[in-house]
Structure 1
Amino acid sequence: MKVVYGLTWHSRSCTASFHVGHKSFTALHLRHSKTNQVSRRVAVACSPLQSEPESAASVKESTNSDDHVSSMSSAASNTMSERSIEKQKEVLQDQLVYREPSATEQLWTKFKLGFALPWRRFKPDSVLVFKLEGDISDQGRGRFDPGLSVPQICQALQKAALDPRVKGLAVEIGPLQVGWAKVQEIRRYLKYFRQSGKFMIAYMKLGGEKEYYLASAFEDIYTPPSASLSLRGFAVTGTFLRGVLEKVGVEPQVKRIGKYKSAGDQLLRKDMSEPQAEQLNAILEDINEEFLSTVSEARGKSREDLVAFLEEGVFDMKKFVEGGWVTALKYEDEVIDILKEKTEGQKDEELKKVEIRRYNKVSPSAFGLKGKKRIVVLRTSGAIVGRSSGTSSAITPDGLIPRLKALAKDKSVAAVVLRVDSPGGDALASDLMWREIRKLGERKPVVASMGDVAASGGYYLSMACKTIVAEPLTITGSIGVVTGKFNLAEFYEKIGYNKTILSKGRYAELLADNRPFSQEEQALFDNAAQHAYESFRDKAAMSRGMEIEAMQEVAQGRVWTGAAALQRGLVDALGGVNKAVAIAKQLAEIPEEEKVTVSDLGRVPASPLALLGLGASLQTSVLAQSWAFSLLPATLVELILRTDVLSSLELAAQLQSGGPGFLMTDVNVATIGDTRCPSSRHQSSWNDVSFMEDSRSEFVNRTAWVLDEFVESFFDM
């Protein structure tokens, strides 16, 4: 029986989705309860980027993963007893703190920039401009991929804050299709840029809570009079298929372990269960609280003021200005005039600007952001699968393990930050990579940094690291398994389809879809599910240095935000990649004042199909042609597709056809997010030429990029 650990959190509409795997499926569980104090070992390091240092506890030691379950628990318990650690120590979220460069550093920066390559130069007092909209990948973008990635944006903001040629920042914010963790990461670097004292302007035409949350980090927010900012709060929508399946004669046979195992609810129920509602409400509460506290503080208002404003259901942009939530109502050409004034340019002159893709070619070494020792950020994102399925948005043992082995042998690498942005997936693949991460950790420090989602298999990878860092709104946990199959006997009879199976072996027809489980088969299936769950739970306890009983309290498939996971001992610190790098630096015993080079690995080239705009249609085609869906009526398949039951971009990576059993990934159980969620798919104006676009032709840009790569090894300026 193949087991899949999985969860998908669609952040644009904040969709919570569950994976049903080939011959089994697992669940998303969102649970919020009172803080559970846990006795465990904590691996936390003080961040040099914090204004106030944190307490640090001893680092948990590596344990052989081949030990018996009971011995793993015993070893963890004995180690905790020896270290006399009674409870988890609280770790505060880090903040990037801007430090004004010294006169010597400024002189050295100007010297290096003076020898920069031609295509890395631009006019003094320029404005760094770019758009934040749509999908923002956690992986580095390819050279010809028009999109932006989180590491590109964050590095550009960090360099621009120190660059004397950059006068300020102007960003057009449109509908985002990213999770809250990515937004928090980007917002942290926007605040860092603001500490430099340079001006910051955000321009918005359309957006909701997530977009405004990001814009609130800017000094000034401008919108046109006809803009649509829908700030009406957050909502959750559950979809259930029991009635549909009954009408077509499909019987889901599900084994769930734990009160909050609710992935099967969408197939077994016609409405939302109380435990699931409790979990989703907890997530809504965390998101809402983060939004209210952060936005009110950023705009210099009280929390009560913001709540009162949201309760009005304001749509008139004049009231946004009157309340101080928007600076002024301006059209784009008027914003350009404001930028020209700030850069001391004339209205009839072209705006002095540098587009982010061009600016990313400026070397960090010019600003003292490189050192002799190297820390590698290894980025992994997508569903976890056993083998590559032809899509780049997947994590596979064949893709990750060789890189882990290479990093273990590379003496120039002092530490590794494993960036995990995954809803989970194949259990075997997760375990193989977990083992290799543990082995790498025996050679050098490995710190996990969680993205939007690091749940189920994503948490499995993270827990192999010595320290885990998560954003406050990261979705993590989901330590559990739900398995099952579909009995299609009645459906086959309705459509006149007959299947005869010849078999040898007591359980050869265990997963036959033309009949239900026998009593004996059900017992075997239940035992296998229980074994899979206990294996995951016990390894999580061993990896985190917790008693099995303590892990049981926070496991059971429950999903937590990063902040809630910190309280329960599932993560060690709150923050982003910069926090993880700071911790890795200290674990590697690198002096705080010493500069390090942070190498980002994981750039995924753009697919030719994606460049042609065919990516989504290709994935839909793969889905519609999958073996399991070929058995269902076309109307049912269309309904499932249209209701976003299988809407994740990681979907194609987990589709595996052939053989008996049922495969369905990313089964939507609920949609959590803004009440309006304006889609960017129908917004054509985002591609219009504006002050955000680079005036150079695309051909010149691409030619410069190719030449730049050729001379990159000879020049670093």
Structure 2
Amino acid sequence: MKKFTIQVMATIVGILSLIGISVIGLILLGIIIPSLFSGVEDNSVLEITLNKPVLESPSEKSISIFSLEDKTNLYLNDILNLIKHAKTDEKIKGISLKLTNPDVGYSEISDIRQALLDFKESKKFVYAYSNDCSQKAYYLASVSDSLFLNPNAIVELTGLSTEIMFFKNLGEKYGIDFDVVRHGKYKSAVEPYLRNNLSEENRLQLTELLGNLWTKISTDIAVSRKVSTQDINISTDSLFGFISNLSLKHKLVDKLLNESEYDQIIKNKLGISKDKKINRITLSKYKENLNLDLNTKNKIAILYAVGEIYTGKGDDAVYSKTFIKQIKEIKEDENIKAVVLRINSPGGSANASAEILYELEQLKKEKPLIVSFGDVAASGGYYIAMAGDKIYAQENTITGSIGVLGMIPNVKKLINNIGITTDYVTTNTNSLYYSPTQGMTAGMKDVMTQGIEITYKKFVGVVMNNRKMTFEQVDNLGQGRVWSGKQALDRRLVDEIGTFNDAIVFAAEKAKLEKYNTISYPIEKNFLESFFNKMESNDDDDIQSSYVEKVLKKDLGKDNYQLYQKIKNMNKNTGILYLMPFELSIK
């Protein structure tokens, strides 16, 4: 028996040793092999494809065992810094955009467009080629000196649209009801559960919002293509982009040619012969070959608030406990001299938003806090921005939504339909103030209504203090209504239209820094770090489910995952919320 036990233990030790050696070997291969092919060659072209999603924060990163030493994830700030560096890199002679359907928001595209416009001041070329061109791809590619299209390709220039999903019939069919209290005639986050179509107020704000965003996009395209906005709108309404010859005729593109012909144009530009290869370098490879860190301890922290806002712990959205821990780490780091709060959030829990705002206000007492809005900074996302010294937005940012709502589900009809009933005994009028099988009592509904009004006044009060407005002024801009960044600037809800980089530069000026490095929060983790973090999490944490969510997101695809989230998060979006009036997907 003793001999058998020794053999078993020896086998286990051998297996564990083999696993350990294999893991170390994978890591070493990941480090050594790329180094054998490192270096940016002379006469190179930086090629930008955006075939992978452009991430804002490490919290959006897909996790797998193959990401032990995965350096291919590109964040928006990486892309902006790499383009900026390429401008003065003598080895980089130009940029080639090969875009199809980039997974990125319109405000992020505006940031990248601006970086490319700045790059063009170096007199280096920016060319674009597409085998099929989505509207987002075209918006970015239109900034190029010359835009080439495959003769059989289309330019999907259609204008903007959004489609709202409604669940009222689903609830009625299966017996799920929602008790709803809201403040603000535009606070329509609950509409999908109460209606089958858009209210007139919601349709009005959506129409104005999309019109404002399209004005920005079409104007940018028209300026780059050297045509009028009227010409762009005619091409859009007539779908000229879907027929390549019409794309050429109406100046949407410069030339129709095959990719090999495009490559020859670049070779001519570089002054190399037909038989020579183009020295192409991707953004990921360029990042690996550069050390953008400056020789200084001074840092600017970029704190990302990406996703809905919830209470508790987690890393796939903005969870109050996790986020506050990051705020405190930044506050205690003496090398961090300023902070840029990058917000891409539609809001969420009112309590969580209030907790986060308080800690951000404490942070601002110690260090400059500058806010930069991404695609969306609405409701709770706008609320936490009120801690900032200055707020930057893009013209096509969606923001505002100053309003409050409360939503409580009940499944009484559902369980009755399947033959289940409940009864109860209480000692006081509101002992059972809420039950999923009974709904809310009249007394609880009255208390919740009062709570909504108090919470709304707090929201308005915070905005009044930061934006130096009266209650009436904020209330008129509030009521749950959303605005574009341009509209928000005109109404003094933000301070300046500017890029992500503009906010970072201003933070450096505020902290009187000439040399600085940036550090992102949350800190990026590899698979092993995320795995052990998951193992150490408590039962009430959302960190374990965060890992599953990232796997589901990868397997389901973006559109199916959004539908899954909408249904799954019905149970999270309860109580009093600072939540954007609708989940807006602009196409």
Relative distance call for 1:393 and 1:595 in structure 2 (3 A) is: same
> How many angstroms does 1:610 deviate by?
12
Relative distance call for 1:256 and 1:227 in structure 2 (3 A) is: same
The one-letter amino acid paired with 1:158 is K
Aligned to 2:116: 190
**2:438 pairs with 1:515:** yes
Alpha-carbon distance in 1 for matches of 2:192, 2:580: 8
Corresponding residue SS for 2:127: strand
Corresponding residue SS for 2:435: coil
Match of 2:310 among 385, 392, 407: 385
CA contact (8 A) 1:237 1:670 kept: no
> How many angstroms does 1:236 deviate by?
3.3
Relative distance call for 1:607 and 1:548 in structure 2 (3 A) is: farther
Alpha-carbon distance in 1 for matches of 2:526, 2:404: 34
Aligned to 1:127: 45
> How many angstroms does 1:450 deviate by?
1.0
Alpha-carbon displacement from aligned partner over 1:533-567 (angstroms, at most 9, x marks no partner): 22222222223332222221112211111111112
Aligned to 1:179: 105
> How many angstroms does 1:656 deviate by?
6.5
Range 143-152 or range 259-268, more displaced: 143-152
Relative distance call for 1:617 and 1:542 in structure 2 (3 A) is: closer
Corresponding residue SS for 1:347: coil
Relative distance call for 1:136 and 1:537 in structure 2 (3 A) is: same
**2:128 pairs with 1:205:** no
Alpha-carbon distance in 1 for matches of 2:169, 2:116: 48
The one-letter amino acid paired with 1:604 is E
CA contact (8 A) 1:234 1:284 kept: yes
**2:263 pairs with 1:336:** yes
Aligned to 2:251: 324
> How many angstroms does 1:669 deviate by?
4.9
CA contact (8 A) 2:73 2:284 kept: no
The one-letter amino acid paired with 1:121 is G
Relative distance call for 1:608 and 1:376 in structure 2 (3 A) is: closer
Alpha-carbon distance in 1 for matches of 2:234, 2:278: 39
> How many angstroms does 1:661 deviate by?
7.1
CA contact (8 A) 2:158 2:239 kept: yes
Relative distance call for 1:201 and 1:371 in structure 2 (3 A) is: farther
> How many angstroms does 1:505 deviate by?
5.5
> How many angstroms does 1:343 deviate by?
2.2
CA contact (8 A) 2:379 2:580 kept: no
Alpha-carbon distance in 2 for matches of 1:419, 1:526: 33
**2:586 pairs with 1:673:** yes
> How many angstroms does 1:646 deviate by?
4.5
Match of 2:272 among 338, 345, 352: 345
Match of 1:223 among 145, 149, 152: 149
> How many angstroms does 1:153 deviate by?
0.9
Match of 1:252 among 178, 182, 192: 178
Match of 2:501 among 573, 578, 586: 578
The size of the alignment, in residue pairs, is 527
Relative distance call for 1:500 and 1:350 in structure 2 (3 A) is: farther
Alpha-carbon distance in 2 for matches of 1:656, 1:242: 16
Structure in which a larger fraction of residues adopt helix = 2
Relative distance call for 1:563 and 1:600 in structure 2 (3 A) is: same
The one-letter amino acid paired with 2:41 is K
Alpha-carbon distance in 2 for matches of 1:536, 1:124: 56
CA contact (8 A) 1:138 1:381 kept: yes
Give the alignment's Cα RMSD to 1 decimal. Answer: 3.4
The one-letter amino acid paired with 2:166 is F
Relative distance call for 1:150 and 1:504 in structure 2 (3 A) is: farther
Alpha-carbon distance in 1 for matches of 2:132, 2:527: 29
The one-letter amino acid paired with 1:673 is I
Range 188-197 or range 311-320, more displaced: 311-320
Length-normalised TM-score, structure 1: 0.67
Alpha-carbon distance in 2 for matches of 1:616, 1:139: 14
Corresponding residue SS for 1:175: coil
Alpha-carbon distance in 1 for matches of 2:341, 2:164: 33
The one-letter amino acid paired with 1:308 is I
> How many angstroms does 1:251 deviate by?
2.5
CA contact (8 A) 1:139 1:151 kept: no
Alpha-carbon distance in 2 for matches of 1:213, 1:270: 33
Alpha-carbon distance in 1 for matches of 2:549, 2:422: 29
> How many angstroms does 1:371 deviate by?
6.1
**2:196 pairs with 1:280:** no
- In the TM superposition, what are the counterparts of 1:47-446 in structure 2 within 5 Å? 121-133=39-51, 135-139=53-57, 143-144=69-70, 146-314=72-240, 315-363=242-290, 373-389=298-314, 392-446=315-369
CA contact (8 A) 2:403 2:578 kept: no
Relative distance call for 1:527 and 1:161 in structure 2 (3 A) is: same
Match of 2:375 among 434, 441, 452: 452
Relative distance call for 1:666 and 1:351 in structure 2 (3 A) is: farther
Relative distance call for 1:348 and 1:483 in structure 2 (3 A) is: same
Length-normalised TM-score, structure 2: 0.81
CA contact (8 A) 1:185 1:576 kept: yes
CA contact (8 A) 1:159 1:364 kept: no
**2:549 pairs with 1:619:** yes
The one-letter amino acid paired with 2:55 is S
Alpha-carbon distance in 2 for matches of 1:449, 1:670: 21
User: Which runs of 5 or more structure 2 residues have no equivalent in the other structure?
Assistant: 1-34, 62-66, 532-544, 554-558
Corresponding residue SS for 1:483: strand
> How many angstroms does 1:662 deviate by?
8.9
Name which structure has the greater RCO, CA cutoff 8 Å, separation 6+.
Answer: 1
> How many angstroms does 1:476 deviate by?
1.3
> How many angstroms does 1:175 deviate by?
1.4
The one-letter amino acid paired with 1:241 is F
Corresponding residue SS for 1:260: coil
CA contact (8 A) 2:380 2:579 kept: no
Relative distance call for 1:223 and 1:365 in structure 2 (3 A) is: same
Alpha-carbon distance in 2 for matches of 1:218, 1:587: 34
CA contact (8 A) 2:346 2:380 kept: yes
User: Which runs of 5 or more structure 1 residues have no equivalent in the other structure?
Assistant: 1-116, 624-640, 675-717
Range 340-349 or range 290-299, more displaced: 340-349
Alpha-carbon distance in 2 for matches of 1:522, 1:130: 54
**2:524 pairs with 1:604:** yes
